[in-house]
Structure 1
């Protein structure tokens, strides 16, 4: 009985020793025999700009359309030292990977190379086809990457992930929250977003413009319903974008002279000072002489007696100047500030510009005259729509926002 017990103990001990021996041998093989393979594979993965997303919060529209998500993509790689016929292998892969056969061959024809990446983000169908070829030395692995189902939809608003970090747009501004796995729901309506993107693209092509932008805002709350610019870029292929300035969101970063769309702002200031009414009349001679400068209406015409309503209807430069002069320089400048010009809106996006109305600090007549019809000053498209929305909202300027929140009045 005693001998039988001892035999079991020796058998168990021997099994444990054998098990540890096998583990030690496998570790030796990995560390020494396959060291080059794993080192090369690790280096490639560390260099992959966006393939290391384990879990990042999703970005969704208010109507639950996913703008940014995580997706497990197949990738194909080679172990060249195992490949017996690189030329034939390259020939079989070229069509499936949509790659040049010579390029593949050069990567495969490295007899001592333990690891050579061929292509990332291949389709599941392509991965399956490659598996079915059963090519020695050709392997499929899977990587979690950031994926944007809408491709170029709201690209400059969303931004992208590179080197594990958000770059530009919401991906950058909310990096901490998204990296922690928190989902981000926007005020954007996907149907309206898609609609305006199609429209501005068509209009730009029709009028051969360099760029175009559009914003849809709820004037009562400040919520951004849609925000788009064209040209844009495909978020899933951002590294292929030749002009990196397209990564910037022109709606918040591009400043321009507003021109005639600024005239309602000027008229609102004059009306609020009670120096004019909608029926106040001035005589339009088609031009105004201010110092050494002569300012004409945009169409070069003179319209005689005109009300303030007609000034806006006909977009008269001389009428805008009249309204500004009635309001006075100090009140006009303060209204510009109250409307938010020369100040960032703090919408919650990176790269926002403040615009510039410093020209009005020089209290010359000509500076104020040109400012009345939107020249000599600059603003972003977001500043402009925020100010115009205040007019539509009975003079209440609302905080523009892209993340749902309680409506907040600035002034």
Structure 2
């Protein structure tokens, strides 16, 4: 009995020591994973809480053309304006009734959209309207309306509407939510037009306020390059009108015209009909209208090139309008010749 009694305390002590050691090992393993294996993850989280970063968007380059007098014509440019939004956390119930009339008096607001937006009571950011002009923004700011905010934005604008639409293309959001060129010049020269975005990185305190003497890094955005086309605006406008007339005259589904300087290869006019307005491309139901038939609907030419071949031969003096020719036919067992003893001459 005495022997059993003396062993029980020892067993308990050994058990406690073993448990403490196991707990220590588990804590050590956990610390190893936190401080070594997952070091990068927690460092990024800490940096995210302590640092502020704002992306500086680069201004997209313009697309231009020049008239015969050298005057520049803007075909695609960037406009600046504002997003009008509601912060429902700051709105009082009684203010919602007359707020619509106040805003609608400055810039047209969709009534159904406004009604839906004010119902989301705890939402601090409900967009009411995009592309608000500077004058409209100034007028809204002057009203000093609680819960109404303005945020700067920029968008692509095509001043001449459907003019050279197939050559220009347009920009739209990619799968990643970034704006990029779709079709035409906007797509082909997307990288040049885009430029390089910049950023502001700074330290902030526990309240989210920037620290004046903290680390601050500013990388300026680089504007995109401007691109000047060889298109003659006056000629392009004339050819567009004539192409539409021809298409309507012959009840054609589509038509196209391209004018190229033979010695330089410069495209002076490129027209496809029907056209579209790149400012409102999202309204088009037939997506095939976006394709430029001269670059994206390629097919193998046949007899169309025969007149071009003859024209080149005449231009080089290889043949004349009085030249005769012999055509040989072979069909296995037979052999025949077709001979024109009289030149066709010049057709008028």
Q: Does the 8 A contact of 1:53 with 1:145 survive in 2?
A: no
Which aligned pairs between 1:281-320 and structure 2 lie closer than 5 A?
307-310=343-346, 313=348
Q: Give the aligned partner of residue 250 of structure 1.
A: 293
1:148 aligns with 2:158: yes
Shift of 1:138: 2.0
Shift of 1:106: 0.5
Q: Give the aligned partner of residue 369 of structure 1.
A: none
Match of 1:190 among 208, 233, 252: 233
Shift of 1:165: 2.2
Counterpart-to-counterpart distance in 2, 1:202 and 1:243? 22
1:108 aligns with 2:112: no
Shift of 1:219: 0.9
Which aligned pairs between 1:147-296 and structure 2 lie closer than 5 A?
147-162=157-172, 163-180=178-195, 181-255=224-298, 261-268=304-311, 277-280=320-323
Q: Give the aligned partner of residue 73 of structure 2.
A: 65
1:123 aligns with 2:138: no
Counterpart-to-counterpart distance in 2, 1:103 and 1:271? 68
CA separation of 1:82/1:309 partners in 2, compared to 1, >3 Å: closer, same or farther?
farther
Q: Does the 8 A contact of 1:94 with 1:104 survive in 2?
A: no
Q: Pick the structure with more strand per residue.
A: 2
Q: Does the 8 A contact of 2:167 with 2:185 survive in 1?
A: yes
Instruction: Specify every segment of 5 or more residues in structure 1 that has no aligned partner in the other structure, as ranges.
Output: 1-30, 32-41, 47-51, 283-288, 292-303, 314-411
Shift of 1:223: 0.7
Question: How large is the RMSD of aligned CA atoms in angstroms?
Answer: 3.6
- The secondary structure found in structure 2 opposite 1:55 is coil
Shift of 1:111: 0.9
Q: Give the aligned partner of residue 146 of structure 2.
A: 136
Higher relative contact order (CA 8 A, sep 6+): 2
Counterpart-to-counterpart distance in 1, 2:57 and 2:238? 31
Counterpart-to-counterpart distance in 2, 1:103 and 1:250? 40
TM-score in terms of structure 1 length:
0.51
Q: Does the 8 A contact of 1:55 with 1:179 survive in 2?
A: yes
Q: Give the aligned partner of residue 55 of structure 1.
A: 59
Counterpart-to-counterpart distance in 1, 2:76 and 2:57? 12
- The secondary structure found in structure 1 opposite 2:82 is strand
Pairs aligned (count): 247
CA deviation vs aligned residue, 1:178-215 (integer Å, no higher than 9, x gap): 22322212212222222222332343334432222221
Q: Does the 8 A contact of 1:81 with 1:110 survive in 2?
A: no
Shift of 1:113: 0.7
* Structure number, greater radius of gyration: 2
Q: Does the 8 A contact of 2:60 with 2:78 survive in 1?
A: yes
CA deviation vs aligned residue, 1:154-192 (integer Å, no higher than 9, x gap): 222122233232222112212222223222122122222
Q: Does the 8 A contact of 2:109 with 2:128 survive in 1?
A: no
